[in-house]
Amino acid sequence: MNGVHDMGGMHGLGPLVPEQNEPVWHAPWEARVFALTSAIGAWRKWNLDESRQQIERMPGADYLRSSYYEKWLIRTVALAIQTGLLTREEAMSGRPDPAAQAATPPLKAAQVEPSMRRGGPTTRSVDRQPVFRVGDSVRTRNIHPQTHTRLPRYARDKQGVVVALHGAHVFPDSNALRQGENAQPLYTVRFKAQDLWGEAANARDTVCIDLWEDYLAPV
Amino acid sequence: MSSGEHHDHDHDHSDVPSDLALRVKSLESLLVDKGLVDPAALDAIVDYYEHKVGPRNGARVVARAWADPDYKQRLLTDATAAIAELGYSGRQGEHMVVVENTPAVHNMVVCTLCSCYPWPVLGLPPAWYKSAAYRSRSVIEPRAVLQEFGVSVPEDAEVRVWDSTSEVRYLVLPERPAGTEGMSEEQLAALVTRDSMIGVGLAAAPQGAAA
Of the residues B33, B53, B73, which one is the last residue of a structural domain?
B53
Domain shared by B149 and B105, yes or no: yes
Report the 3 state secondary structure along chain B: CCCCCCHHHCCCCCCCHHHHHHHHHHHHHHHHHCCCCCHHHHHHHHHHHHHHCCHHHHHHHHHHHHHCHHHHHHHHHCHHHHHHHCCCCCCCCCEEEEEECCCCEEEEEECCCCCCCCHHHHCCCCHHHHCHHHHHHHHHCHHHHHHHCCCCCCCCCEEEEEECCCCEEEEEECCCCCCCCCCCHHHHHCCCCHHHHHCCCCCCCCCCCCC
Largest distance between two CA atoms of chain B:
65
Residue (of A139, A125, A121) closest to A187 by Cα position: A139
Domain shared by A198 and A164, yes or no: yes
Domain shared by B41 and B66, yes or no: no
CA distances from B132 to A5, A12, B92, B115 (A): 9, 9, 21, 10
Domain shared by B64 and B29, yes or no: no
Of the residues A85, A120, A155, which one is the last residue of a structural domain?
A120
Question: Cα-flanking dihedrals φ and ψ of residue B89, to 5°?
Answer: -165, 170
CATH (domain of B109): 3.90.330.10
- Identify the domain containing residue B34 by its residue range: 24-53
Q: How many residues does chain A have?
A: 219
Residue B194 has pLDDT above 70, yes or no: yes
* DSSP-derived secondary structure for A101-152: PP---S--HHHHHHHHHH----B---SPPPS--TT-EEEE-----SS--SS-
Rounded to an integer, the average pLDDT of A101-119 is 96
Q: Which of A95, A196, A208 to mutate to test the interface with B (most CBs of B within 10 A)?
A: A208
Q: Does B3 touch chain A (CB under 8 A)?
A: no
Domain shared by A42 and A70, yes or no: yes
Domain shared by B44 and B110, yes or no: no
pLDDT category at B209 given cuts 50, 70, 90 is low
Cα–Cα dist A184/A121, whole Å: 14
Catalytic one of B114, B131, B136, B184: B114
Say if the Cβ atoms of B30 and A73 lie within 8 Å. Answer: no
Q: Is residue A13 part of a domain?
A: no
Per residue in A18-75, pLDDT (tens digit) is: 999 999 999 999 999 999 999 999 999 999 999 999 999 999 999 999 999 999 999 9
Q: Which chain B residues are closer than 8 Å to A190 by Cβ?
A: 160
Residue B10 has pLDDT above 50, yes or no: no
Per residue in A153-162, pLDDT (tens digit) is: 999 999 999 9
Per residue in B121-170, pLDDT (tens digit) is: 999 999 999 999 999 999 999 999 999 999 999 999 999 999 999 999 99
| HSE toward the beta carbon, residue A148, CA cutoff 13 A | 24
Strands B105-110 and A184-192, by their bridges, are: unpaired
Domain shared by B30 and B87, yes or no: no
Say if the Cβ atoms of B160 and A55 lie within 8 Å. Answer: no
Domain shared by B81 and B134, yes or no: yes
Cα–Cα dist B107/B131, whole Å: 19
Cα–Cα dist A11/A4, whole Å: 12
Q: Which chain A residues are closer than 8 Å to B27 by Cβ?
A: 36, 73, 76-77, 91, 94
Rounded to an integer, the average pLDDT of A104-129 is 96
Q: Is A159 exposed, middle or buried (0-12, 13-18, 19+ CB in 10 A)?
A: middle
CATH (domain of A189): 2.30.30.50
Catalytic one of B116, B138, B164, B196: B116
Per residue in A9-20, pLDDT (tens digit) is: 999 998 999 999
Domain shared by A35 and A115, yes or no: yes
Q: Which chain B residues are closer than 8 Å to A150 by Cβ?
A: 113, 165-166
Residue (of A96, A103, A72) closest to B37 by Cα position: A103
Residue (of A79, A63, A80, A59) closest to A71 by Cα position: A63
Please report the pLDDT score of residue B2 as a whole number. 39
Q: Does B77 touch chain A (CB under 8 A)?
A: no
* Averaged pLDDT of chain B: 92
Q: Does B86 touch chain A (CB under 8 A)?
A: no
Q: What angle do CA B122, B125, B131 make, to 5 degrees?
A: 150
Cα–Cα dist A29/B122, whole Å: 22
- Identify the domain containing residue A89 by its residue range: 28-120
Instruction: Using CB atoms, pick whichever of A24, A119, A155 lies closest to residue B49.
Output: A24
Entry pTM: 0.94
Of the residues A95, A120, A145, which one is the last residue of a structural domain?
A120
Domain shared by A105 and A86, yes or no: yes
Per residue in B14-49, pLDDT (tens digit) is: 455 579 999 999 999 999 999 999 999 999 999 999
Domain shared by A113 and A193, yes or no: no
Domain shared by B66 and B43, yes or no: no
Q: Is residue A172 part of a domain?
A: yes
Of the residues A97, A120, A143, which one is the last residue of a structural domain?
A120
Domain shared by A109 and A153, yes or no: no
Q: Is B134 exposed, middle or buried (0-12, 13-18, 19+ CB in 10 A)?
A: buried
Q: Is residue B130 part of a domain?
A: yes
Residue B3 has pLDDT above 90, yes or no: no
Q: How many domains does chain A have?
A: 2
Q: How many domains does chain B have?
A: 2
Q: Is residue B158 part of a domain?
A: yes
Domain shared by B178 and B102, yes or no: yes
State how far Cα A119 lies from the chain centre: 15
Q: Does B13 touch chain A (CB under 8 A)?
A: yes
Domain shared by B49 and B119, yes or no: no
ipTM reported for the complex surpasses 0.90: yes
